[in-house]
Amino acid sequence: AAHEKPVWGFHVLSVEGDTVGDAQFETDRARFLGRGRTAADPAAMSDYRALSGTSGSVLDPAFAIRRTVRILPGQTARLTFSTGIGETRDRAIELADKYHETAIFARAAELAWTQSQVQLRHLNVSISEAHRFQKLAGRILYLDPSLRPRSHKLAQNARTQSGLWAFGISGDLPILLTKISDEKDLPMIRELLRAHEYLRLKGLSIDLVILNERAPSYLQSLQDDLQAQIRMSGSQALLDRSGGVFLRRTDLMSREEVTLLQTVARVTLDADRGTLEEQLKHRSVFPEMPADFSTGLLSKVPLVRAVAGASAITSVEKVTPEPLPSASTNLEFYNGIGGFSAGAREYIIQLKDSQWTPVPWSNVIANKLECGTVVTEAGSGYTWSANSRENRLTPWSNDPVSDPTGEALYIRDEETGEFWTPTPLPIRGPEPYLIAHGQGYSRFEYSTRGIESTLLIFVPEDGEAKISRLTLKNKGDQKRKLSVSSYIEWVLGTFRSTGAPFAITEFDDESGAVFARNPYNNEFADRVAFAAFSEKDSSFTCSRSEFIGRNGNLANPAALRREKLSGAEGAGLDPCAAFQATIELEPGESREVIVLLGECATASEARAQVKRFIEPSEVKRAFDRVVGEWETTLGTFELKTPDPAMNALVNRWLLYQSVACRLWARSGFYQSGGAFGFRDQLQDVMALVYSHPELAREHILRAAERQFVEGDVQHWWHPPTGRGVRTHFSDDLLWLPFVTTYYIHATGDRSILEAVVPFIEAPVLQPGQEDSYTHPTISQQKASLFEHCARTIDRSLKVGAHGLPLMGAGDWNDGMNRVGHEGKGESVWVAWFLYTVIEKFLPLCREAGEAFAHRTEAYENHLVHLKNAVETEAWDGKWYRRAFFDDGTPLGTHEADECRIDSIAQTWSVISGAGNPERAKQAMDSVDEHLIKHDQGIIRLFTPPFDKTPLDPGYIKGYVPSVRENGG
């Protein structure tokens, strides 16, 4: 947006030595790494291809520079890479030129040393102390069990993050906690205050919490001394402020509150246990790991270790790829990688050699209990429960290049030590893979080393678990001994960095599952996550560090080089849930291994889920029910057009995705929102009025419950609490009557209008306030759905200087949030939309009789007004304008350099039926001329996109031109 300052970055390379050829560069991360690869094995290095020199609008940006140097015997070449930022483009170029000089490194290093010395003197910090403070920073950023309470102490905490707020501590920043009870330890406090100021100067914001543990007495000498120390420190101005110092007395706190502080602190120090230096020398005593796997090939011949994007761990002998499980000739619309099966019930992907899909092709699988998972063709993805953003069980990556995962299955040959995965990632093998995405499930087929594997992943319709069923078949003529390992990386919150440090894991003897919970995760604090493995004679660990290994990765985990897992569990670990078991297969024999991942409200419910779905017979029944339910849903109607591609999408995939992805999951590979959008899901349930009218009705009433008594609505809200955003958006509220009338027309269910639902209450937005993130209360005021709908229209009748509806903080295009932010801007599209809503709602008002006569008359008059205002003020000559800024400047006019014509202002002149027929036809001709690119098969939202205009339409201008709402 115009009010935000741009940041310009630069990356330069200077070379002292004999260079060969020209410098090469790359700014496209996807080109440099390559699909399915990481920085450990980038495509740009594997075949030494020339860097592309890509610049301009790059969706996934990176800095990469390459120079070739010739180094003769005894000679030296020095290469200096410099990265920095400038407030303007000219400043960035100036700095880039400066740091391109070969002598700059020595000068920059000398200046940096000089500056550091000045800073240290200013802070009265010695060099040895600075080193000590750096070590402390490392312990704060990367948890060290030696500087945290013992596991059983951490497990005692029952308070959530909100428990810190009574002490003025948000819990959003890392906490450094120190305890003191005697004046003799005040030097430790002085040193920590200097450390706090030093780290703050270095850009690391932390909350330093000092707990005075002295017993209460009439004289509070220690408290006075501590306050004096803080006043004399550089952190005095930050007392009781975020990123500052908090002095608290334990005699004024409950035991539970002290436990909470000790649990959430990244580092806990006791002033009476020695100096900071002495306490930093403590090292955790790591448990002894199980014996190394030392039989067969692992101990006899060298192995080629796998990395992400490369082949599996294998011997140096060449492996002959096995044929694909099925032929591509049977697929419809085959594109060289995948196509639809007969009837479009599955989308089949076939990966062979080093083939990858251009981007991850994923399946969003979910049920009405809001348990779900995203599964990509590589076998990556993530899983959630109750809320796909706020309560992720495993990590969401949003990385379409490497597609990393926090869940994996491994198969190891116990005779040779070779191991592989049944999915293309995290270990890519040389043999072909077949991946099938179906409605409610995904399947992976892979055959290697004489073992055929089939992995089925689905979520039962009435369960709170993700089920992974791995079937292994011995295709050879010799008995095979294999081990199967499962790995799950806990998040238990929004992000692993904020959730994992507080996770408490335990092995539940009754169910044989690993349980995990995060008492710090506010509204989900009491929930119990579980991971289970069907093989009874198995080992387990809850330590990610053990399974992956120091500096390891999932392509080559340390645990698969050991005989078994250690059984580590408890709090304070780097949490995961991993199982390993050994199985034997006779020639031709098959065996099923089931892995469960889920979460329930209580431990007893979790045990019930494990007991039910760990049984193969119940897994089969649950899968059959999933397939049957989707067949019923998708078989409600059938569209037949001359275009078989459209038939396949409409009859199977679009309706499936509307329910599973949009309504139940509210997540996907690229966006994991978790919230209900007021307009979003109301639009989505319009697709369900024939197949699942009960879901449409349920959501219409759910949306009505998110309306404030004043008539406006939450732009979006998170279940289960209802926390969300109150805004000035002008179109959100109108979708309630629009979808309600659509539902009634399709189903004939007029009783929905009589359903009574409450309003919500929260502070109204003040003048100049764009939005507020609040947790509204349920109002005592209730009304029928009819009244809820009428209030949305009542609130939308106000017009601006041109007689058009006010734009507010945006309309359908959220990114145009500055067009009417002063309260005077107007929206042409909202005029068309409001006309449509009133026209559809008026018959219901007329049927209501005298009780709504005043509204009926007002609505009828407003229809006439809107029609006249649009034709008088919004016609631009060949099309309709899009909006007017607060100052009256038109948007979507032929006189503009950017956003000259916008599509929805034209299409809705036709959809609403309110546009002058001749003008509407002219407008659509203009759409065809300017916005439809027949040769490219695209229709633009508007053109040209925002880029350099001095106008400030909002954050839409921050999007890359022609991406998302900015003219996409």
Backbone dihedral region for residue 959 (phi beyond 0: left; psi -120 to 50: alpha; all else: beta)? beta
DSSP state of 391: T
Count the neighbouring beta carbons within 10 Å of the beta carbon of residue 724. 25
pLDDT at 283: 73
Q: Do the beta carbons of residue 357 and residue 337 sit within 8 Å?
A: yes
If pLDDT is split at 50, 70 and 90, which confidence band does 941 have?
very high
The span from the CA of 716 to the CA of 703, in Å, is: 10
Same domain, 710 and 855: no
943 belongs to a structural domain? yes
E strand residue ranges, 124-266 = 175-180, 207-212, 245-249
Contact 782/830 with Cβ under 8 angstroms?
Answer: no
Token code pair at residue 868: 């006249």
What number is the average pLDDT over the span 210-235? Answer: 89
Tell me if 102 is assigned to some domain.
yes
Q: Which long-range contacts (C-beta less than 8 Å, at least 24 apart) are formed by 928-936?
A: 930/900, 930/901, 931/901, 931/903
Question: Which residue reads 């703050």 in tokens?
Answer: 200
CA atoms within 13 A on the CB side of 87: 2
**Which residues of 142-275 form beta strands (DSSP E)?**
175-180, 207-212, 245-249, 267-270
CA dist., res. 330 & res. 340, Å (int)? 9
Q: Answer yes or no: is 601 within a domain.
A: yes
Give residue 309's pLDDT.
Answer: 42
Nearest CA to 137 out of 238, 235, 206 is that of: 206
Q: Identify the domain containing residue 726 by its residue range.
A: 675-796
Report residue 855 as tokens.
Answer: 């509204």
Average pLDDT for 618-638: 95
Q: Which tens digits make up the pLDDT trace of 559-605?
A: 999 999 999 999 999 999 999 999 999 999 999 999 999 999 999 99
- Cα 375 to the center of its chain, rounded Å: 14
891 vs 896: CA distance, rounded Å: 8
CATH number (domain holding residue 932)? 1.50.10.10
Residue 724: name the closest of 779, 667, 773 by CA: 773
Q: Which residue has the tokens 């819990």?
A: 171
Quick one: which of 834, 652, 907, 636 has its CA closest to 747? 636
What values do phi and psi take at 64, rounded to 5?
Answer: -145, 125
Q: How far is CA 16 from CA 22, 70, 79, 111, in A?
A: 15, 11, 6, 21
**Span of 227-236, 310-319, 538-547, 716-725 with lowest mean pLDDT:** 310-319
Same structural domain for residues 594 and 707? Answer: no
Q: Above 70 in pLDDT, residue 127?
A: yes
Note whether 501 and 540 are same-domain residues: yes
CB 250 within 8 A of CB 258: yes
Q: Is residue 291 part of a domain?
A: no
Plot region of 22 (φ>0 → left; ψ -120 to 50 → alpha; else → beta)? beta
CA-derived radius of gyration, the chain: 31
Angle made by CA atoms 470, 476, 482, in degrees to the nearest 5: 45
pLDDT per position as a tens digit, 332-389: 999 999 999 988 999 999 999 889 999 999 999 999 999 999 999 999 999 999 999 9
Which among 607, 632, 657 is the end of a domain?
Answer: 632
Q: Which amino acid is at 801?
A: A
Give, in order, the Cα–Cα distances in Å from 679 to each of 92, 476, 633, 686, 904.
42, 57, 24, 11, 16
Cα–Cα distances (Å) from 573 to 35, 139, 292, 502, in that order, read 32, 14, 22, 9
Q: Provide the pLDDT for residue 324.
A: 52
**CB neighbours of residue 570 within 10 Å:** 19
In this structure, are residues 651 and 638 in contact, taking their beta carbons and an 8 Å threshold? yes
Please give the share of the chain, as a percent, with pLDDT higher than 90.
Answer: 85
Q: What is the pLDDT of residues 147-181, one digit of tens each?
A: 999 888 889 888 888 999 999 999 999 999 999 99
- Residues near 608 by beta carbon (within 8 Å), at least 6 away in sequence: 600
Distance CA 635, CA 882 (A): 40
Task: Tell me the average pLDDT of the chain.
Answer: 93
Domain-ending residue, one of 257, 281, 305: 281
User: Is there a contact between 520 and 509 (Cβ–Cβ < 8 Å)?
Assistant: no
Hey, what's the torsion of the CAs at 961, 964, 965, 968, to 10 degrees? 60
Instruction: Tell whether 688 is covered by a domain.
Output: yes
| pLDDT, position 296 | 46
Do residues 337 and 350 touch, judged by C-beta distance below 8 A?
Answer: yes
Work out the number of other CB atoms within 10 angstroms of the CB of residue 930.
19
Q: What is the mean pLDDT of residues 44-58?
A: 87
The continuous run of DSSP H or E covering 611 comes out as: helix 603-613
DSSP string, 68-123: EEE--TT---EEEEEEEEESSHHHHHHHHHHHTSTTHHHHHHHHHHHHHHHHHHHH
Paired residues of 248 in beta bridges: 211
User: Is 496 part of a structural domain of the chain?
Assistant: yes
The whole-angstrom separation of Cα 626 and Cα 895 is: 56
pLDDT tens digits for range 393-414? 999 999 999 999 999 999 999 9
pLDDT for residue 285: 65
Mapped onto helix, strand or coil, the DSSP state of residue 220 is coil
Among 775, 796, 817, where does a domain finish? 796
The owner of tokens 């649990």 is 263
Looking at the structure, tell me whether residues 692 and 620 fall in a common domain: no
- Residue 694's nearest CA partner among 653, 741, 749 is 749
Q: Tell me: the pLDDT tens digits for 283-328?
A: 766 678 888 886 544 443 333 334 334 433 333 333 444 455 455 6
Give the residue among 480, 483, 493 at the shortest CA–CA distance from 520.
493
813 and 783 in a common domain: no
From residue 280, alpha-carbon distances to 147, 153, 179 in Å are 8, 20, 15
DSSP conformation class of 332: B
Q: Is 768 left (phi over 0), alpha (psi -120 to 50) or beta?
A: left
How many degrees, rounded to 5, is the angle at CA 649 between CA 644 and CA 651? 90
Position 326 scores a pLDDT of 54
Structure confidence at residue 323 (pLDDT): 52
Sign, Cα dihedral of 261, 264, 266, 268: positive
Least confident window among 95-99, 155-159, 263-267, 310-314: 310-314
% of the chain exceeding 70 in pLDDT: 96
Q: How far apart are CA 441 and CA 443, in angstroms?
A: 7
In this predicted structure, what is the pLDDT of residue 850?
A: 87
Residues 161, 249, single domain; the answer is yes
How many C-beta atoms lie closer than 10 Å to residue 876's C-beta?
Answer: 20
Alpha carbons 298 and 415: distance in angstroms, whole number:
9
DSSP per position, 502-523: G-EEEEETTTTEEEEE-TTSGG
Strands of 155-252, DSSP E? 175-180, 207-212, 245-249
- Does the residue 321 lie in any domain? no
Same domain, 606 and 533: yes
Residue 649 is given by DSSP the state: I
807, 890 in Cβ contact below 8 A? no
Q: What are phi and psi of 576, to 5 degrees?
A: -155, 180
CATH of the domain at 350: 2.70.98.40
**427 and 510 housed in the same domain:** yes
Among residues 18, 23, 57, 13, the alpha carbon closest in space to that of 966 is found at: 57
SS3 938: strand
User: Can you tell me the distance from the alpha carbon of 794 to that of 151, in angstroms, rounded to the nearest whole number?
Assistant: 58
Are 176 and 266 in contact by the 8 Å Cβ rule? The answer is yes
Nearest to 902 by CA among 816, 840, 792, 797: 816
> How far is the C-alpha of 275 from the C-alpha of 184, rounded, in Å?
12
HEC string for 455-502: EEEECCCCCCEEEEEEEEEECCCCCEEEEEEEEEECCCECCHHHHHHH
Please give the Cα distance from 742 to 736 (Å, whole number).
10
Task: Flag whether pLDDT at 879 surpasses 90.
Answer: yes
- Report CA 929 to chain centroid distance, whole Å: 38
524 and 433 share a domain?
A: yes
Instruction: Say if 340 falls within a structural domain.
Output: no
- Looking at the fold, whether 185 and 99 belong to one and the same domain comes out as no
Residue type, 795: R
How many independent structural domains does the chain possess? 5
Indicate if 806 and 857 belong to the same structural domain: yes
- CATH code (residue 191): 3.40.50
Query: Are 574 and 706 in a shared domain?
Result: no
pLDDT in the model for residue 316: 30
Structure tokens at 680: 């979003």
